[in-house]
Structure 1
Amino acid sequence: MTVTIWSARLAAVGASLTLGLAATLTSTTPATASGTGSGGAGANIVGGSDATRPYPFVALEYTYYPELGQSSSCTATVVKVLGSNGPETGAVINANCVTNYPSTEPEAASDITLEVGSTQLDELTPVTPTRVEVYPGWDWATGDMAVLVLPKNLHLTGIPIGEQPTPGRKVRLVGWGDTSIDAPGIPPVLQQLDTRITKPSACADAAIGAGEICVAPAPDGGQACLGDAGAPALSATRTGWALLGSGSRGTNESACTGPTVFTDVTHYRQWIVQALTHPQPHHPRHVAPGSARRTVTYVH
């Protein structure tokens, strides 16, 4: 099954490309450190509200594609896990944010920028990862998971990966980006939305599979949308927040009102720990024509 991703405003190219629930490609130069790249559509929360908590672990992410001369934006979540060498900190993101269809190879770390540390767009701090790891099973249909390894001399706030989510679990979606389908760009303040996990069958139209969860719209109809790749689905704990999912694709991108598919981060816990601890072998996978579940049409 082919599912259209949440972002459909990709400038300057007149072709069809499969990207995942990818962000909007907008610039002809790498995104600036200030995070004010024109027209970006990072993690977009439609019907949400301005952040009421600090969320220092939520990052705005830019990937520059030299072969296209454009940049995309997504959202990533800084996590802290216990590896074989002690605590490891890195950013969890979806593979469709850091690869370029039909390739499953990650873009260079030097072409990726995270902006962290604030709920205000103009107060974010840029960070360049040292390494990009893509899940070896990623084939533009399954395995939509990646991590960004960050410099060890940084003192970033990371959250733990939570326990396996089940239908009915309350979650908070947090992200940067458009607040409506026709919004002009990234909002000045990080957005949040409270909703819940629902049964997988509600996301059947988006070809939900193993290692994925289905997130229902909020009671008032609010939902993640347009370019909401990598946006975290958070679970409240007694000490803060835990990461359960990261945005992959929607079931109704034309209106952003239906249930949405999130990668189940808990499903990839072991691989994430390994990827943050040591470089992982990666063997590019062949993507058969028509097999991808995530498509987007570029527009002039």
Structure 2
Amino acid sequence: MKTVLSEVGSPRSSRKTLHRLALAGGTLVTALATVAVAPSSAAAGDVQPNIIGGHAASEPYPWMVSLQINWKGDPDFHTCGGVLLFRDQVVTNAHCVTNPPGQTVPELGWHVRVGSHNRNSGGQTAGVSKITVHPEWAWGAGAPEKRVADLALLKLDRKLDLQTIELAAKPARPGDKVRLLGWGVTEPDGSGPLPSMLQELDTTVVPAAKCAAWAISGGEICTNPNGTDGPCAGDSGGPALKKEDGRWKLVGGTSRGSEWCGTDTGVYTSSPEYRQWMYDTARGVPVPIPALPVPSKDPGYGLPFERLGGVK
């Protein structure tokens, strides 16, 4: 899984900001999503996460999700990763399904493919009937003092007959070994095409101070790409896993990092720290919406899908 991390400004700008690692905008401020163009032509602030330096998935991951839309003639365009938490509920990152600076969810005909290493075939598919974004998500406004809460729960239009993933009992700690999964870009320069087959990378959790440049906040963990490896565009929303009791359990979701994939640390939303919100949301329990700072303008992330079409 290659992660393309971007900085606001020119490709080699000294400004360190958040970039989305999703198949969306260009160089986002610390978020990991799939990017549609190379970093050299990316719009300032776009997030691009892919796994760089990884390899083909080595074992089954029946709960692994490819979040897709119908985009420019491709009915199954991969945008982000995710995991099947309940049979009809997928967890991904909020930046994958929102536009900055507001929290409007685009009506793009979201659907998922679950349980296949091949994002183009196999497994089971379902439509997305409802998207619930964590109420604290405001595109990093107020970070690091305020939680970024880059998290969303997607309700599917049917229950899938697949194994769901377990949440880890506790948040990952520095020194913990974790595994990253995704279909993000795998070339160090952030160019395509995206891999058809799921990629994985084993890495380590490091102290939060190592991710200070990405405005890491409470409810997040920092991973170490060893200076060469890490997530990239298209890896956004994908999981960080830790093995407990002989099983892989969810400890994080790919959020953001630097402009050049794999060259610095990456930030992941700490899934166990949002356990109650995910369970309450899945049950339909009303969740209070706190008063939050809202960016007065686009914070530099770029629109989530302005770069779609460049990476295939």
- TM-score range relative to shorter protein: 0.7 to 0.9
Pairing partner for 1:23 from 26, 29, 34: 34
Deviation sequence 1:89-148 (CA, Å, 0-9, x none) = 52110000111112213344x721111121123323321123211101110001111111
RMSD: 3.4
Say whether residues 1:54 and 2:60 are aligned partners. yes
The equivalent residue for 2:18 is 3
Q: Partner of 1:240 in structure 2?
A: 247
Match of 1:111 among 109, 122, 138: 109
Aligned to 2:8: none
TM-fit CA distance, 1:64: 6.0
User: Is the CA contact (8 Å cut-off) linking 1:225 and 1:253 kept in structure 2?
Assistant: no
Distance 2:259 2:275 in 1: 29
- Structure 1: distance between partners of 2:296 and 2:192: 33
Deviation of the 1:286 alpha carbon? 6.0
Distance 1:296 1:160 in 2: 32
123-132 vs 266-275, which moves further: 123-132
Aligned to 1:91: 90
Match of 2:236 in 1: 229
Q: Paired residue for 1:30?
A: none
Query: Which amino acid in structure 1 is aligned with residue 182 of structure 2?
Result: G
Q: Is 2:51 aligned against 1:45?
A: yes
Q: Please, which runs of 5 or more residues in structure 1 have no aligned partner?
A: 27-40, 81-87
- The 3 A distance-change label for structure 1 pair 105 and 72 is farther
**After the TM superposition, which of the residue ranges 267-276 and 288-297 deviates more from structure 2?**
288-297
Asked whether the 8 Å contact 1:2–1:294 carries over to 2, the reply is no
1:44–1:226 contact (8 Å) kept in structure 2: yes
* Secondary structure class of the residue paired with 1:272: helix
The residue number in structure 2 matching 1:266 is 272
* Letter aligned with residue 200 of structure 1: A
- Cα offsets for 1:177-212 (capped at 9, x unmatched): 211134322212100000011000000110100111
TM-score (norm 2): 0.75
C-alpha distance in 2 between matches for 1:8 and 1:115: 15
Kindly state the Cα deviation for residue 42 of structure 1 after the two structures are TM-superposed: 8.4
Change in 2 beyond 3 A, CA 1:5/1:96: closer
Q: Secondary structure at the match of 1:106?
A: coil
The answer to whether the Cα contact below 8 Å between 1:49 and 1:192 also exists between their aligned partners in 2 is: yes
Distance 1:138 1:65, change over 3 A: farther
CA distance in structure 2 between the aligned counterparts of 1:137 and 1:195, rounded to whole angstroms: 28
What residue number does 1:100 align with? Answer: 99
Structure 2 unmatched ranges of 5 or more = 1-15, 38-46, 141-147
Number of the residue aligned with 1:211: 219
Per-residue deviation, 1:263: 0.5
Cα distance in structure 2, aligned partners of 1:183 and 1:281: 40
- 1:49-78 deviation line (CA, Å, top 9, x unaligned): 001101111111125699xxxx76000011
Contact (CA 8 Å) 1:63, 1:97: kept in 2 or not? no
Note the C-alpha offset of 1:150: 2.5
Deviations 1:202-261 (A, max 9, x none): 00110100111001114x8321122321110001123421000000001x3224321100
Cα distance in structure 2, aligned partners of 1:18 and 1:150: 29
**Segment drifting more, 276-285 vs 204-213:** 276-285
Aligned twin of 1:35: none
Maintained 8 Å contact 1:24/1:72: no
Structure 1 175/287 Cα, relative in aligned 2: closer, same or farther at 3 Å?
Answer: same
Q: How many residues align?
A: 269
**Alpha-carbon distance change, 279 to 17 in structure 1, aligned in 2, over 3 angstroms:** farther
Q: Secondary structure at the match of 1:288?
A: coil
Gap change, CA 1:98 and 1:6, over 3 Å in 2: closer
For the 8 Å contact 2:22–2:35, the answer to whether it is kept is: yes
